[in-house]
Amino acid sequence: MTSNPLTSRFIRACWRQPVDRIPVWFMRQAGRYQPSYRALRRQYSLLEIAHRPELIQQVTVTAVEDLQVDAAILFSDIMVPLEPMGIGFDIQEAVGPVVHEPIRTIGQVERLKPVNPSRDLDFVLEGIERTVAALGQVPLIGFSGGPFTLASYVIEGGPSRTYQWTKSIMWNAPNVWSGLMERLAAMVVTYLTAQVAAGASAVQVFDSWIGALSRPDYERFVEPYMTTIFAQLKALQVPLIYFGVGTAHLLPAMARTGATVLGVDWRTPLRHVRRLLGDEWALQGNLDPVRLLAGWPAVKDGAEDILRDMGNQPGFIFNLGHGVPKETDPVTLRQLVDWIHHWPVEPAPM
């Protein structure tokens, strides 16, 4: 095998180059389903872990060792870079992020501070450096929330079903919306640039909740910011992964933003996405995460459907359609990785 993350099968698949085995990793591969993570969480809060480089390293690397996946994902949360912008929040048990003072006025937006990662987020960058050193040949994926998904937490004050405040500001207060989105987009660019400088081999933008928007609203209120972000990140020459949930209606617009890899949820067969978009983008996904709770035959059936469509195409990375559920048996996940790695890949033509 190779000893360089940049020639690993995960990175090769992102660039649509031939691979020896199908690469696989999982969103939320470090988290509550792991006994070791639950044990650590009895001692430290999520944010304490995310602020300590040695714990970032430990949690990130343990997931890779336990699962034998082909990529690591930085252990952090999309909310972490908001704190130095001046946005106070907690991550509450069984709720998620809760923002102390939701941002809904132009005055609040104008008081937001630009982020200087080497000064404000040094603990993340040191966590990346340590993790990359410990991982050796396994590539590390850095990440950020997408500006819409971050804006939704910042404006609503927490998780939302309807995104009522977010959409209301988007439609009714163009200056508040553009001011907030511009500042979030600038943060995403500087933050991901710093993560790559610290050693990340690829970056993923988690725009998890964009599926809540109609196509015209996405195109008008989000796509321009994403296009700017990816245009600036392109110079880093690392794969740019763009993921959202419930995005079947948005995929052509997401593809136009300049992403290298599109992350797709379980609702849309990847062969349909291929037919829709053509071969220019690598695809990542998309097993229904709930299959992990339904026993091995349900896992294998779902994975087989995906691999029959995608297993012999360049530019495919196996993942779930969203994060690993906390009730998942780690043994099932490990079994899935081994099964994916046994799928026969036709050798590339010489």
* Residues binding ligand 1CP: number (CB under 6 A): 22
Q: Is 208 annotated as a binding residue?
A: yes
Q: Rule CB under 6 A: which of 199-218 touch ligand 1CP?
A: 206, 208
Side-chain half-sphere CA neighbours of 12 within 13 A: 18
The crossing angle, in degrees rounded to 10, of helices 53-67 and 330-342 is: 60
Order of strands, edge to edge, in the sheet holding 282-287? 72-73, 140-145, 202-206, 240-243, 261-263, 282-287, 316-320
Q: Is 58 annotated as a binding residue?
A: no
Report how far residue 79's alpha carbon sits from residue 252's, in angstroms, rounded to the nearest whole number: 28
Stretch that binds ligand 1CP, among 7-15, 25-33, 283-291, 338-346 (CB under 6 A): 25-33
Chain position whose Cβ is nearest to ligand 1CP:
96
Show the tokens assigned to 313.
């195409």
Tell me if 176 contacts ligand 1CP by CB under 6 A.
Answer: no
Tell me if 159 contacts ligand 1CP by CB under 6 A.
Answer: yes
Instruction: Tabulate helix, strand, coil % of the chain (nearest 5).
Output: 55, 10, 35
Report how far residue 150's alpha carbon sits from residue 21's, in angstroms, rounded to the nearest whole number: 35
Least distance CB 266 / ligand 1CP (angstroms): 13
Among this protein's residues, is 308 annotated catalytic? no
Q: Is 28 annotated as a binding residue?
A: yes
Tell me if 78 contacts ligand 1CP by CB under 6 A.
Answer: yes
Catalytic residue among 9, 12, 33, 77: 77
Q: Which is closer to ligand 1CP, CB of 161 or CB of 342?
A: 161
Strand 89-92 vs strand 96-99: parallel, antiparallel, or unpaired? Answer: antiparallel
Least distance CB 294 / ligand 1CP (angstroms): 20
Among this protein's residues, is 21 annotated catalytic? no
Tell me if 32 contacts ligand 1CP by CB under 6 A.
Answer: yes
Of residues 336, 315, 226, the one with CA closest to residue 270: 315
Q: Is 220 annotated as a binding residue?
A: no
Q: Which amino acid is at 44?
A: Y
Tell me if 41 contacts ligand 1CP by CB under 6 A.
Answer: yes
How far, CA to CA in Å, does 87 sit from each of 114, 154, 279? 12, 8, 40
Tell me if 66 contacts ligand 1CP by CB under 6 A.
Answer: no
Among this protein's residues, is 153 annotated catalytic? yes
Among this protein's residues, is 28 annotated catalytic? yes
Report how far residue 288's alpha carbon sits from residue 267's, in angstroms, rounded to the nearest whole number: 8
Residue with tokens 């009522």: 164
Among this protein's residues, is 130 annotated catalytic? no
Q: Rule CB under 6 A: which of 83-112 touch ligand 1CP?
A: 91, 96-97
Side-chain half-sphere CA neighbours of 122 within 13 A: 3
Report how far residue 288's alpha carbon sits from residue 243's, in angstroms, rounded to the nearest whole number: 15
Annotated binding residues for substrate, as ranges?
Answer: 28-32, 77, 153, 208, 322
Contact residues: ligand 1CP, CB under 6 A: 27-32, 41, 46, 63, 73, 75, 77-78, 91, 96-97, 143, 149, 159, 206, 208, 323
What is the set of active-site residues?
A: 28, 32, 41, 77, 153
